[in-house]
Structure formats: C-alpha cells, structure tokens
C-alpha cells in the first residue's frame, strides 16, 4: 500500500468499498472495510499535513488489520464476524486490560468502528448543510457526539485544533472530486445509509460479545 495515500481521492471509491463491505448474509468483509478507510485516509491527506497525526493513527490501524489478512490465519479474518469468533475462541483478545494481545484485530477494528460513527454523523451533516455552513462546526459536533467520548483530553484538544484547519464547504466538496455540489449531495445520500448499516451490524456484533470497551 506504499504511496497509495497520496493518490487522488474520489468519494465514489469510498462509496464502492463500503458497498462491497456487506456479504449477502450481512457479514462485514474486512478487506473492503479496510479499503474504505484507505480511501478516507487519502482524502484526509489531501486536506493538508495538519491532519497527519490523525491519518498516521488510522494508517497504523489499517496496517495491523492488513497484516492479519495476509497472515497464515488470513482466512479467519475475512469478515468481522469470523475475526471476532477466531480471536475469542483462541483467547487472542485482551478483554479487561492491555496485556498479551495489545494489538488484537478486535480492539484495532473497534477504534475504526468508533471513527465510522463520527464519519456517519459528519457526512450526514455535510449532506444536509447549506452553502455557508462551516465544516469545522459540523466536524466538531459529530466528533463530540461520538469519538470524543473515547478520547483523553490531550487527543480531544489536538483534534479540536485540527478542525479549525478544515477548508470551507466549497473546497471540501471539490476535494471529494465527484462533480458539482448536487452530485456530492447525491453520492452522500447513498454513502451515509451504507456506512450506517455497516456501523450498526458491527455495533450489534460487538455488543453481543461484550467487546465495546476493549482496552
């Protein structure tokens, strides 16, 4: 994946990945989940280096999951469902506190899963926003309602400062690179429900296995 984060971003690609994410029986494919995040990291990188600390963390989590996919147990990581089963069955998850498995697939994916909720809330605000609405405000509101609750003060502060560097809505829409604003809004209209579905399926799975607070 070297260098792939620097290529041109297109919102359509992210939409495609999240579309491919769900199997016919509604399991979540890790490969496409990770591809969706790669697309998002590309987008974040094209917004400027102030967001570097955020994309760096996302990239390292993506890499952990890719390594599992490419490992000898790769087939067990095909879907989030199979990953959860495999790691729980084989005691590969630190359930209470970080110890022998500080970088399990389950806890790593949980971080991206929480960020997916932020994304859903943010994109929905963006979709319904008006021309002069501020992206930084939409981003902060979405963050406070979701990810912020899982971040310590120092991360919240850094994130809060980065939000000020977000470009305005017109530039933001241009960087999405799918055409005029109406087209962006239309694609967001498809993307948000998809992201929401992937989020809900994962959330229910993690809840069922009591994995929502993994350290």
Which residues bind to ligand 1PZ, rule: CB under 6 A?
Answer: 40, 43-44, 51, 53-54, 57-58, 111, 114-115, 118, 139, 143, 147, 155, 159, 166
Distance of CA 107 to the CA centre of its chain: 14
Buried b (16+ CB within 10 A) or exposed e, 185-210: eebbeebbebbbbbbebbeebbeebe
Describe the crossing of helices 105-127 and 30-46 by its angle, rounded to 10 degrees: 60
Provide the 8-state DSSP code for 179.
S
Token couple for 63: 């890499």
Q: How far is the CB of 30 from ligand 1PZ (least distance, A)?
A: 16
Three-state SS at 68: helix
Which residue, 28 or 115, has its beta carbon nearer to ligand 1PZ? 115
Compare residues 89 and 150 and give the one whose CB is closer to ligand 1PZ.
150
**Please, what is the minimum distance in Å from the beta carbon of residue 32 to ligand 1PZ?**
16
* Nearer Cβ to ligand 1PZ (143/173): 143
Q: Which long-range contacts (CB under 8 A, 24 or more apart) does 149-153 make?
A: 150/114
Which of residues 29 and 143 has its CB atom nearest to ligand 1PZ in the complex?
143
Query: Least distance from C-beta 41 to ligand 1PZ, angstroms?
Result: 6
Within 8 A by CB and 6+ apart from 20, the residues are 29, 32, 35
Q: Closest approach of Cβ 75 to ligand 1PZ, in Å?
A: 26
Cα distance between the two ends of the chain: 28
Q: Report in angstroms how near the CB of residue 102 gets to ligand 1PZ at its nearest.
A: 9
Query: Between 111 and 127, whose beta carbon lies closer to ligand 1PZ?
Result: 111
Q: Three-state DSSP class for 95?
A: coil
- Residue closer to ligand 1PZ by CB (options 23, 189) is 189
Structure tokens that stand for 160 in this block = 């809060």
* The residue to which tokens 């280096």 are assigned: 49
């Amino acid at each position: 994946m070297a260098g792939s984060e620097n290529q041109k971003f297109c919102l359509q690609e992210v939409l495609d990945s999240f579309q491919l994410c769900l199997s016919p029986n509604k399991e979540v494919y890790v490969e496409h989940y990770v591809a969706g995040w790669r697309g998002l990291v590309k987008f974040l990188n094209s917004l400027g280096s102030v967001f570097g600390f955020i994309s760096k963390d996302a990239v390292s989590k993506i890499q952990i999951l890719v390594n599992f996919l490419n490992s000898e147990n790769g087939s067990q990581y095909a879907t989030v469902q199979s990953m959860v089963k495999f790691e729980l069955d084989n005691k590969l998850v630190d359930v209470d506190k970080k110890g022998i498995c500080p970088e399990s697939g389950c806890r790593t994916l949980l971080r991206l899963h929480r960020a997916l909720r932020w994304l859903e809330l943010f994109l929905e605000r963006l979709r319904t926003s008006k021309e002069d609405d501020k992206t930084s405000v939409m981003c902060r509101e979405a963050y406070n309602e979701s990810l912020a609750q899982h971040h310590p003060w120092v991360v919240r502060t850094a994130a809060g400062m980065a939000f000020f560097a977000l470009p305005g809505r017109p530039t933001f829409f241009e960087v999405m690179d799918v055409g005029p604003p109406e087209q962006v809004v239309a694609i967001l209209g498809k993307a948000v429900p998809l992201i929401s579905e992937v989020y809900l399926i994962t959330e229910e799975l993690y809840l069922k296995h009591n994995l929502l607070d993994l350290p």
